Amino acid sequence: MVNAAPHRVAILVYDGVTLLDFAGPAEVFKEANRFGADYRIVLLSPTGAGVTSNLGIQIAVDGAVSPDPAFDTVLVAGSDLYPRARIPRDLADAARIPAAAAGRVASICTGAFVLAAAGLLDGKRATTHWKVAHELAARCPTCRVEPDAIYVRDGATYTSAGVTAGIDLALALVEEDHGPQLARDVARALVVYMQRAGGQSQFSAPLQGPPPRSPALRKITDLVTANPDGDHSLGELAKHLNVSTRHLTRLFHDELSTTPARYVENIRFDMARALLDQGHTATQAAILAGFPSYESLRRVFARKLSISPAAYQRRFSTTRRANAG
């Protein structure tokens, strides 16, 4: 059902803001107006002066942030500048002032760092781009950061993952305001998913990270990578290094904060994902990466990415393969 009263949306932008972070959600709201919604979008900057985006494009704004008028929704866009640098006080204040009277507050990507600096995420669940989720957790120790979420709602506070996740969030807000049918019409018009399957882990870098510092553990990773379908049980790995299973488990815990079995699984998972990217079938990827069966690989994909290997491959096939034939 479409609301009669206009819905005022303020989007906070600033120098270095990521263009797509605010343009994507704004396009969703604009498109929703074609189907009967009435979103009134204004761009605000901390001082009311125009800003320069991350692409060097000059952006004119409608005014400076102020406590009046009150907005129904306040969106804070992200920037590559943060979290590499601390959030300036004037930018944190620029988020805090309109948020105080807003019906709901949301961030796109690293805009979550601005909300955190403004104290707006204290004690709340939140997310941000997978690359910097750990940094958000460090800067906002009272937050419960959910690094795999596309977006998170905690009361009237919303946070979203990297860049295009702002479109997912905006669609969710439209659905909240006007119901699923209008949101579905908007998604179809923009040729995007109404709701993306899986979390943002499917877009993340390999899980195993940099090689271990310990020569003993590097031996293990080299062994598994060279022969992924070998017997890499805890006992066999300990025997290979001539150490006790307890000592090997402690080494993994102290240096990598994981278990030998989970680390071996991560290596195999990363190999399987790379094989899928190269065009191997899911069954071939499972065998070559050392999984006992396709089903075991499917279970790991479901646990780590919330999608199947086949669904992952469909999403990340190269354009050359997708357009062949």
Active-site residues, by number, are: 109
Residue 104 neighbours by CB distance under 10 Å? 18
CA 249 – CA 257 distance, rounded (Å): 10
Measure CA 122 to chain center: 20
**Could you give the C-alpha distances from 268 to 234, 244, 288, in angstroms and in order?**
15, 24, 9
Measure CA 49 to chain center: 30
CA 299 – CA 307 distance, rounded (Å): 9
Side-chain half-sphere CA neighbours of 100 within 13 A: 11
State the amino acid at position 148 in one-letter form: D
CA 231 – CA 249 distance, rounded (Å): 17
Q: Which of 23, 10, 30 is nearest to 105 (CA)?
A: 10
Report whether 139 contacts 122 (CB < 8 A): no
- 160 beta partners: 151
Side-chain half-sphere CA neighbours of 209 within 13 A: 8
Give rounded-to-5 percent helix, strand, coil for the chain.
45, 15, 40
What are the backbone angles phi and psi of residue 9, rounded to the nearest 5°?
-115, 125
| Element (DSSP H or E) covering residue 213 | none
Q: Which of 130, 92, 140 is nearest to 109 (CA)?
A: 130
Q: Which of 88, 128, 124, 98 is nearest to 112 (CA)?
A: 128
